[in-house]
Amino acid sequence: MTPTDIGNAVSILAALSVATERLVEIIKGSIPWLNTQAKDPNQEGWRQASLHVLAAFAGIVTAWLANSVISGTIPAQWTTPGGIIVIGLLASGGSGFWNSILSYVKATKDLQEAQATAAQPAPKP
């Protein structure tokens, strides 16, 4: 993958992540027990687990619905059913996922800058 491909993939995942988050918030807002933190730790655990499953489902649905739009900008293997599931799960990952992605993108940028600097001729004395 070229840096442009990586940038395209990150942009698509960001857009899908925002759409997934909106879908989860809509569903969560219409189901009171999902939208209210439980006082009982056991019930809160079930609520949190339900939210994770909901986010994964919403991410997969969002990726599937966007497949025809994104298929020209991502590698072909990502548009297979398995690829759509993976994209959906990545889109549902939340802020921890995005912090990791940002660190990878920054590392790629730093590497490219280092390569460009190394490729420049040394200044003449």
What range does the domain containing 13 cover?
3-104
For residue 36, being part of any structural domain is answered with yes
For residues 27 and 34, give the distance between their C-alpha atoms in angstroms, rounded to a whole number: 9
Looking at residue 98, what is its pLDDT?
65
For residue 13, being part of any structural domain is answered with yes
Looking at residue 61, what is its pLDDT?
94
What does the pLDDT profile of the chain (125 residues) look like in tens digits? 666 767 777 788 888 888 888 898 899 999 988 888 889 999 999 998 998 899 999 999 999 999 888 887 777 788 889 989 988 988 887 656 666 776 777 788 788 888 878 877 766 76
Please count the structural domains in the chain.
Answer: 1
Task: Decide: pTM greater than 0.75.
Answer: no
If you write DSSP's letter for every residue of 1-64 in order, what string do you get? Answer: --HHHHHHHHHHHHHHHHHHHHHHHHHHHHSHHHHS--SSHHHHHHHHHHHHHHHHHHHHHHHH
For residue 64, being part of any structural domain is answered with yes
For residue 79, being part of any structural domain is answered with yes
For residue 114, being part of any structural domain is answered with no
For residue 113, being part of any structural domain is answered with no
For residue 20, being part of any structural domain is answered with yes
